[in-house]
Structure 1
Amino acid sequence: MRQLAAILFADMTGYTALMQENEQLARAKRQRLKEVLEHTIARFHGKILQYYGDGSLSIFNSAIDSVHAAIEIQQQLLQHPKVDLRIGIHTGDVIIEEEAIYGDGVNLASRIESLAVPGGVFVSEKVFDEIRNQEHIQTRELGYFELKNIKQPIRVFAIANNGIIVPGRSEVRGKTAAPVNRLAVLPFVNMSADPENEYFSDGITEELLNTLTRVDGLQVTSRTSAFAFKGKNDDIRDIAIQLNVDKILEGSVRKAGNRVRITAQLINAADGFHIWSETYDRKLDDIFEVQDEISGIIANKLKENLSGADRPAIRSSVKNIAAYTHYLKGLHFKNKITPADTRKAIECFKQAIAIEPGYAEAHAMVAQSYCSLGTMGQMIPHTAFEIGHQYADKALELDDNIAEGHIAKAMAFLYYEWKWDEAYAALQKAIELNPSRVEAYDLLGFYYIAKAQKPEGVKVLEHAEQIDPLSPTIIRSLGTMYIFEERFDDAIRQADKLLEMNPEMRSAIELKAWAIGMKGDWKSALVLFEEVHRLTGHPLKGLMGLGVCYARCGMMDKALECVHKLELRQQQEPDSVVDGDLAAVWLGIGDIDKTYYYLNECIDKRMGPVACFIEYPPYKVVKADPRFHDLKQRMGI
């Protein structure tokens, strides 16, 4: 029998040694442990499945119950005669057959328990997500750990209630491999009076990131996660824990007239020791040489402890400070993701190209931005992707060694032309050129969804989250992958991560609403979709989820009203494409013929994401229809 459970491992420490010293006391402690476990675990609705040596394995239906039980067990065992116990908890799928229990969830819970200290309770990130809002449970993050036979680093938390032992990370690190050769480049601080120089200091950070990602054997945290700490004064060790790195590069930039002073320092995250620091005073007209020089020196410092050669450095094609500043402003707007900001980004990138026509990266970013607008239905796809292709081709003509150009081509192949093999090849090339460009992994995940290879999609996005753990785009995309796999609780956890960053993030609320709705609670989802609609600030936008929810809750009049408003928006905004929204609402209403009509309209208009969203769980009824085969064939799948 397969089920989702909270798995609690408890193991008595020092039992063997105590048996040799005082067998009677050892047996008394073991008996006391057994009595406390059986009484407490039963009281919190758990079940002991196995005893093994001086340990036990229990399961609970609720992660919250499992943690409350663990806290009470440890608090009781503090009393005389004290019993030193380690506890580890994880939630996951388990398979129970007669008296045996097994599965990846069991293995991981066991590894977390072995990591714990006597008197401590360690829990996985999944358990933490369940208990984070429980006012009677305190926690402290210990960071990521490499655990034996577990492929990805695991984020671990310690329960910090009264009486529970909470170790420092250094005490735990001795039990496992610490992150090695993992670097975060924090945004260099603008020390100049002119706020315009903010883009300049960000540019130094960008250049360092681009250079250092090309050092073989070094894993560099992506831009989004590093920039999450911009303007904050977090402790270096805390940042290292959150980003799972062992080294941090930070610095500052001060401009005055035509001179610039750049300070950089490399810090060992475990103890805050400064491995290396340097200050550069240069004339502003050779700033690009300064960037190359700094990044080269730091790369060489890091390579001293690395084996293997670095890949050849990619030199930026820009030589003009004004063009570079416009480019950095464009990145600033592009990373905000909204349609309005994407259009601002396009203008900035075009200004950079006007000053420096051979600026390959700027051409690539214009291409990506137009492709984004076409994907979101904010422009007629034919127009958006044709422009995207033109700029991407120009970028690759100027320099085919930049990942950004290949990513832009992949977007057009994936979301417009449905050239699946070409999309895959372009993404592999982008990853080869720059492994930290998580946009490539994001697109690759959706490639796998379109090809109905959902486990591969999840795997790719989980890897991307390791590279860029604080990227809203990656967190959201992984949540979407979990929905495709019907792992709705995991999707809700991803949405909650985003809402912790920004409680009014529309895409996060929408992700959570879909997960809750598809899990079966459409009434609760409706409240969230109403909030999504409110946050759009427009009577005709943000209606798809609302329409589906109204239909699922039997409020057909309101669902049809959403249909009417979507049709009205299409009339008022002829450049927008809402056929995918209409297909979803008609599916919710239960009209399969109209659903198929609008799905075919999506294909006629080359609305690329249709290849992905027809893999959502509610579309199972569509897939059961004989017409589905023709639909897939039209997209070359």
Structure 2
Amino acid sequence: MSVFAELKRRNVFKVALLYIVAGWLTLQVADVLFGQLGVPDWTFRFLFGMLVICFPLVLLFSWIFELTPEGIRRESDVADGASITLHTGQRINKAIVVLLTLSIVTVVVDRFIPEDDARPATVSHAEAIAAGTDEETELPEQIIEKSIAVLPFVNMSGDPDNEYFSDGLTEELLNALTRLGELKVAGRTSSFAFKGKEADLRDIASQLDVANLLEGSVRKDGNRVRITAQLVKASDGFHLWSDTYDRELDDIFEIQEEIAEMVAGALRATLLDLEEDTLVPQHTDDAEAYEAYLRGTFMLRRAPDDEDTRRRAEAEFLHALNLDQGFTLARWGLFKVLDARFRNGAVDFQQGVEELEELAGVLMDENPNLAESLLAKGRAASARYRFSDALDAYQAAVDTHPGNLDALNWMGHMFMVSGQPERAVERYIEVLGKDPIAAPVLAALTRAYFVIGQCDEARRIQQRAVAAMPGAARVNAWLAYCLLMNGGDRAEAIDLLSSEPVDHLRLTGLAVAHHLDGDSGRARAALGELEESIGEGASYQFGQIHAQWGEPATAIEWLQKAYDSRDPGIHGLLSDPLLKPLKLDPEFLRLQSQWKTRSGL
């Protein structure tokens, strides 16, 4: 008998086929289970390696041994008439058919039913939506079809230190989608407000005013990444598209481009008229530099006011620049570190301004059309109190990058400090159109409504902020101030101020409210607490209080100190309603004139 015939008689070929099918099915099950259990990626490679190593051993075993009614015996010990290889082969055939059927089912499920590991916190959301069990979270009819929020991709690496990468990927995809002309993209602040929270997808979409959600997961192991992404129609949980990418880290920009293009295709959105022919510009060819940039950005976002964190972020950005001197975004990260130090008073004013201006100049020289370069130019100008120049820079950023919400937000602030609160309202509303639960912008808009005396609108925004984020800072104080300055309910104002977490706003408001109530004892107590807790750092607030108490000379003395020390509160000098009692005072008018001259207004 030939070797081939003997291999066939001993069922070696059938055992090989059975092993291959069973091994493939095992890998598919392991891929799903390992992801859900957070097992390190090397275990999957180990399993694959063991299956490969065992393959020839199984073939050798099937050649040497035979399954008999008495159990497993060496083939050479089985009598010629006692062999049951034919019966064994039939049993193997049945096993192969069963496993092939399971394999086909697995392929169909994987191809047409999206993976649930993309967002563990919302595994059951699609089912809940499809079941229609939550009528309260139906999407408003006015939400446009071509709108999307990119939810934070989940870090599935089993290592919390890799969270910077999943967050960074999310933000890069968000930025890429803003380049699609017809697509409304929810801002980062609002999208990231749901990070780590279990919430119904339809409710998330309703709060963000979008019709679609992009969610996913990231597994990073050394230089390998596995990214799963899925696009969900929020109204019914229908998955418009999903895919998984297993690549080297060097291909990260290509992956981002592919995901953005697939989303664009699914939503039938078109690209803006841009100079580049890509949604994801590749700012560096160095994967290590890119990772360092993402780490620095992640650190700075989490704790911009902590100097130790700023130093570590600064080290990451410098490392990225050492690897790639032309990596403009890393230089922008370095600028943000310096800007955070400057705004927190951690550096000398003159030194801080000069550092910001120098770095902004380098950014403009490297890439004058990059949004981040224009933002740096505007921030450096505002640090020097050149508010008109800052406005021009932010306007240029908006003109070239219409989806840049930072530029619109900072334009709003420039309009506030230049005494144009109505124009500030327009900018803030524009930002909130895409970033509807951005707490700092909601607070800024509440303040703007207070300045122009629209307390009903201030209340509406305050309620919106508190509903989205209980305990939101500043909104209670600005609404209370509006009530106090416009004849509103002082008891309500005092109640609002009592729950305000920002000390100087709370104590200033209470000092004014109790004075208006005729309770000089409590008013003085609030002033004393402000003096004790903040001291001369509250020079501007002391000016507000004494202006409301009818003590103009003392008020102007404190405002002059605020001006001389560059107290941030002085930015409200031109339009602050609390200073209205001083509006005809010659010394106050002189101080306002000084401020306009210094600010180039």
TM-score exceeds 0.5 = yes
8 Å contact 2:446–2:475 — kept in the other structure? no
Match of 2:317 among 343, 353, 362: 353
Find runs of 4+ consecutive structure 1 residues off by over 6 angstroms: 376-379
What SS does the aligned partner of 2:240 have? strand
Matching residue of 1:10? none
Shift of 1:350: 0.4
Matching residue of 1:197? 162
Matching residue of 1:115? none
What SS does the aligned partner of 2:497 have? helix
Which stretches in structure 1 are left out of the alignment for 5+ residues?
A: 1-137, 147-177
For 2:510 and 2:359, the matched residues in 1 are separated by 37
Establish whether residue 241 from structure 1 lines up as the match of residue 201 from structure 2. no
Establish whether residue 548 from structure 1 lines up as the match of residue 512 from structure 2. yes
CA change 1:476–1:346 in 2 (3 A) is same
Establish whether residue 477 from structure 1 lines up as the match of residue 444 from structure 2. yes
8 Å contact 1:182–1:245 — kept in the other structure? yes
For 2:505 and 2:448, the matched residues in 1 are separated by 24
The aligned runs of 1:325-336 (5 Å cut-off) are: 325=291, 327-328=293-294, 330-332=296-298, 334-335=300-301
Matching residue of 1:396? 364
8 Å contact 2:292–2:319 — kept in the other structure? no
Shift of 1:558: 5.2
CA change 1:570–1:473 in 2 (3 A) is closer
Establish whether residue 598 from structure 1 lines up as the match of residue 544 from structure 2. no
For 1:435 and 1:609, the matched residues in 2 are separated by 30
For 1:490 and 1:226, the matched residues in 2 are separated by 24
8 Å contact 1:547–1:585 — kept in the other structure? yes
CA change 1:492–1:334 in 2 (3 A) is farther
Matching residue of 2:191? 226
For 1:522 and 1:320, the matched residues in 2 are separated by 60
Matching residue of 1:467? 434
8 Å contact 1:455–1:485 — kept in the other structure? yes
Matching residue of 2:579? 619
For 1:280 and 1:407, the matched residues in 2 are separated by 34
TM superposition score normalised by structure 1? 0.63
In our comparison, the structure showing a higher alpha carbon Rg is 2
For 1:440 and 1:481, the matched residues in 2 are separated by 18
CA change 1:565–1:389 in 2 (3 A) is farther
What SS does the aligned partner of 1:229 have? coil
Matching residue of 1:274? 239
Match of 2:283 among 313, 317, 335: 317
CA change 1:226–1:377 in 2 (3 A) is same
Establish whether residue 364 from structure 1 lines up as the match of residue 326 from structure 2. no
Q: Which amino acid in structure 1 is aligned with residue 370 of structure 2? A: I
More strand by share: 1
Deviation readout 1:513-550 (Å, 9 max, x if unpaired): 333433434444334434446x76xxx99643343334
Shift of 1:625: 2.5
Matching residue of 1:185? 150
The aligned runs of 1:468-617 (5 Å cut-off) are: 468-519=435-486, 520-532=488-500, 543-556=507-520, 559-560=523-524, 563=527, 577-607=537-567, 609-617=569-577
Matching residue of 1:59? none
Matching residue of 2:218? 253
CA change 1:239–1:529 in 2 (3 A) is closer
CA change 1:253–1:141 in 2 (3 A) is closer
Deviation readout 1:543-585 (Å, 9 max, x if unpaired): 43343334434444554555556556667xxxx8432222222
For 1:272 and 1:455, the matched residues in 2 are separated by 40
8 Å contact 1:365–1:404 — kept in the other structure? no
CA change 1:347–1:477 in 2 (3 A) is same
Bigger drift between 625-634 and 306-315 goes to 306-315
8 Å contact 1:330–1:347 — kept in the other structure? no
CA change 1:501–1:379 in 2 (3 A) is farther
What SS does the aligned partner of 2:160 have? coil
For 1:553 and 1:635, the matched residues in 2 are separated by 33
8 Å contact 1:583–1:598 — kept in the other structure? yes
Q: Which amino acid in structure 2 is aligned with residue 545 of structure 1? A: G
8 Å contact 1:215–1:310 — kept in the other structure? no
Deviation readout 1:149-175 (Å, 9 max, x if unpaired): xxxxxxxxxxxxxxxxxxxxxxxxxxx
For 1:541 and 1:454, the matched residues in 2 are separated by 19
Shift of 1:423: 1.3
Shift of 1:193: 0.8
Deviation readout 1:278-311 (Å, 9 max, x if unpaired): 221112344344334433x336526844376455
Q: Which amino acid in structure 2 is aligned with residue 298 of structure 1? A: M
CA RMSD, 1 decimal: 3.4
Q: Which amino acid in structure 1 is aligned with residue 371 of structure 2? A: A
What SS does the aligned partner of 2:215 have? strand
8 Å contact 1:556–1:589 — kept in the other structure? no
For 1:276 and 1:265, the matched residues in 2 are separated by 6
For 2:309 and 2:400, the matched residues in 1 are separated by 24
Deviation readout 1:487-528 (Å, 9 max, x if unpaired): 123223322333334433333443343334334344443344
Shift of 1:244: 2.2
8 Å contact 2:377–2:393 — kept in the other structure? yes
Identity of paired residues, percent? 31
Matching residue of 1:453? 420
For 1:180 and 1:144, the matched residues in 2 are separated by 11
For 2:346 and 2:459, the matched residues in 1 are separated by 27
What SS does the aligned partner of 1:578 have? helix
CA change 1:460–1:541 in 2 (3 A) is closer
For 1:382 and 1:582, the matched residues in 2 are separated by 26
Q: Which amino acid in structure 2 is aligned with residue 445 of structure 1? A: G
For 2:431 and 2:169, the matched residues in 1 are separated by 24
What SS does the aligned partner of 2:474 have? helix
Match of 1:409 among 345, 352, 377: 377
CA change 1:478–1:328 in 2 (3 A) is farther
8 Å contact 2:144–2:210 — kept in the other structure? yes
The aligned runs of 1:106-125 (5 Å cut-off) are: none
For 2:167 and 2:401, the matched residues in 1 are separated by 19
For 1:141 and 1:229, the matched residues in 2 are separated by 16
Bigger drift between 608-617 and 348-357 goes to 608-617
CA change 1:299–1:260 in 2 (3 A) is same
Establish whether residue 432 from structure 1 lines up as the match of residue 399 from structure 2. yes
8 Å contact 1:251–1:265 — kept in the other structure? yes
Shift of 1:250: 1.8
Q: Which amino acid in structure 1 is aligned with residue 191 of structure 2? A: A
Shift of 1:327: 4.4
Q: Which amino acid in structure 2 is aligned with residue 290 of structure 1? A: I
Matching residue of 1:45? none
Q: Which amino acid in structure 2 is aligned with residue 478 of structure 1? A: L
For 1:551 and 1:369, the matched residues in 2 are separated by 42
CA change 1:486–1:541 in 2 (3 A) is closer
Matching residue of 2:175? 210
CA change 1:194–1:433 in 2 (3 A) is farther
Establish whether residue 634 from structure 1 lines up as the match of residue 599 from structure 2. no
8 Å contact 1:188–1:253 — kept in the other structure? yes
Q: Which amino acid in structure 2 is aligned with residue 315 of structure 1? A: P
For 2:445 and 2:405, the matched residues in 1 are separated by 12
